[in-house]
Amino acid sequence: MTDLRGRRVLLGVTGGIAAYKSALLARSLTNAGAEVTAVLTTSAARFVGAETFAGLTGRLAHTSLWESSGDVVHVQLAHDTDIAVVAPATANMIAKLAYGLADDLLSATLLEFDGPLVLAPAMHSGMWAAQVTQTNVETLARRGAHFVGPVTGALAHGDEGLGRMSEPDQILEGVRAAIAADGSSLETRSDDLAGRRVVVSAGPTREPIDPVRYLGNRSSGRMGVAVASEAFARGARVTLVLGPGAVRPGPGIEVVDVETAEQMRAALLTHADGADVVVMAAAVADFRPKVAADRKLKKEQGVPELVLEPTPDILVELRSRKSDGQVLVGFAAETDDVVAAGRDKLARKGLDLLVANEVGREGTGFGADTNDAAIISAATQEAALRTWTKAELARELWDRISTLLPTPTNG
């Protein structure tokens, strides 16, 4: 579990009845070892006093941009923060963050801050469902914000619905997950990939049947995004070739959006040229319709018969063009004899490393938080299946990859 010891957490509290639960969150974060600094908006302070937070965190709780005549409070606060969490996050604060407004201490600090941000929305269900709120949430999520909730339950004034803030324990888990996903663990923050160029593929592909239908798969892209984020945190220049609908990485990683296996192939062949490492974590379709209709297939025409053809094996093609010293890593989803099947695939595709994932059970593989996987190497025999979070697996994978990289030559 991600350690919070020594983490500097900015706890933003905005004006909603759920603010009372933020006091519990402040206590849980502090108990987990974090250094918590609370920043309350004026309306939050109508629900809970700043002294409550100061008492629970042992640190001054801030409420105003103008509390100090000399220092620029928001700049200092942003620089002294490793991760920010806003709980509750009102529709108003979400809108301000989406648009970059900075008219109070919390919004100004968060505009200055460029680290991981966790938002726990709380509002009436109509405000949450409003198109504008949903657009703002999407904007922030695309920018890399992590959302926890809201959930369905009792709201203010006896109402019920979707809009209730998640419980403090859940938000605490969200903070841990955001730290893990950010790949910036204090203990392992190292620059061992500085100067390296890395290409990662992630997510599913979609193979068109007609202009509106496609063959797809359940890949969420989370594993590949974790791999890309870890490389970025370790100093690499990272290009992520990303399939549709998948999660997106935080800022700093170049994203090339693709849809079909053919587009993924083209993007990878371009970007892999001269890269130090290529990691194929994408769930590329193995088959696609031989012909995609250029008009929507109509029911009245009867049930269509789909004839499939294999897609190009991108990894095999990358292998045939690979330059000396380039490290090539594949992923394989397996249901039986995971390690043996993985070793076989590693040899067949001529890879340096292969992550063999167990799929088909709950809690592992597609969309899950954890993976049961083994890292198999062409160089060593040992490989054991174990349960990892996707961030842990990404970290271990880069530890292994970095031992395979040739020492950089100067000039």
Catalytic residues: 217
Q: Could you tell me the smallest distance in angstroms from the CB atom of residue 240 to ligand C5P?
A: 13
The gap from C-alpha 44 to its chain's centroid, in whole angstroms, comes to 29
Helix (H, G, I), strand (E, B) or coil at 234: coil
83-89 vs 117-121, strand pairing mode:
parallel
Residue of the chain from 199, 282, 356, 394 that contacts ligand C5P (CB under 6 A): 282
In whole angstroms, how large is the CA radius of gyration of the chain?
A: 24
- Taking the C-alpha atoms of residue 154 and residue 163, their distance in angstroms, rounded to an integer, is 9
The residue (of 44 and 284) whose beta carbon lies closer to ligand C5P is: 284
Strand order of the β-sheet with 35-40 is: 35-40, 8-13, 83-89, 117-121, 146-147
Q: Could you tell me the smallest distance in angstroms from the CB atom of residue 131 to ligand C5P?
A: 37
Q: Could you tell me the smallest distance in angstroms from the CB atom of residue 320 to ligand C5P?
A: 12
Q: Within 220-279, which residues bind ligand C5P (CB under 6 A)?
A: 261
The residue (of 145 and 332) whose beta carbon lies closer to ligand C5P is: 332
Q: Confirm or reject binding of residue 366 to ligand C5P (CB under 6 A).
A: no
Residue 206 · residue 259 · CB < 8 Å? yes
The residue (of 145 and 285) whose beta carbon lies closer to ligand C5P is: 285
Residue 245 · residue 202 · CB < 8 Å? no
Helix (H, G, I), strand (E, B) or coil at 292: coil
Q: Could you tell me the smallest distance in angstroms from the CB atom of residue 332 to ligand C5P?
A: 5
Residue 312 burial by Cβ neighbours in a 10 Å radius (0-12, 13-18, 19+): middle
Return left, alpha or beta for 195; rule: phi > 0 is left, psi -120 to 50 is alpha, else beta.
left
The residue (of 254 and 344) whose beta carbon lies closer to ligand C5P is: 344
Position of tokens 């957490």?
Answer: 9
Site string for ligand C5P, 307-346 (x = CB under 6 A): ----x-xxx--------------xxx--------------
Cis peptide before 150 (omega within 30 of 0): yes
The residue (of 179 and 241) whose beta carbon lies closer to ligand C5P is: 241
Residue of the chain from 226, 284, 328, 391 that contacts ligand C5P (CB under 6 A): 284
Q: Could you tell me the smallest distance in angstroms from the CB atom of residue 404 to ligand C5P?
A: 17
Q: Could you tell me the smallest distance in angstroms from the CB atom of residue 199 to ligand C5P?
A: 12
The gap from C-alpha 399 to its chain's centroid, in whole angstroms, comes to 20
The residue (of 85 and 284) whose beta carbon lies closer to ligand C5P is: 284
Residue 198 · residue 237 · CB < 8 Å? yes
The residue (of 34 and 353) whose beta carbon lies closer to ligand C5P is: 353
Other Cβ atoms within 10 Å of 334 Cβ, number: 21
Site string for ligand C5P, 27-56 (x = CB under 6 A): ------------------------------
Q: Of 228, 215, 124, 226, nearest to 181 (Cα)?
A: 226
Binding footprint of ligand C5P, residue count (CB under 6 A) = 12
Q: Could you tell me the smallest distance in angstroms from the CB atom of residue 71 to ligand C5P?
A: 51
Stretch that binds ligand C5P, among 40-48, 138-146, 173-181, 306-314 (CB under 6 A): 306-314
Contacts of 91 (CB under 8 A, 6+ apart): 121, 123, 127, 128, 130, 133
Total residue count of the chain as it appears in this document:
411
Position of tokens 């007609």?
Answer: 210
DSSP state of 204: B
Query: Which residues would be at the binding site for ligand C5P (CB under 6 A)?
Result: 261, 280, 282, 284, 286, 311, 313-315, 330-332
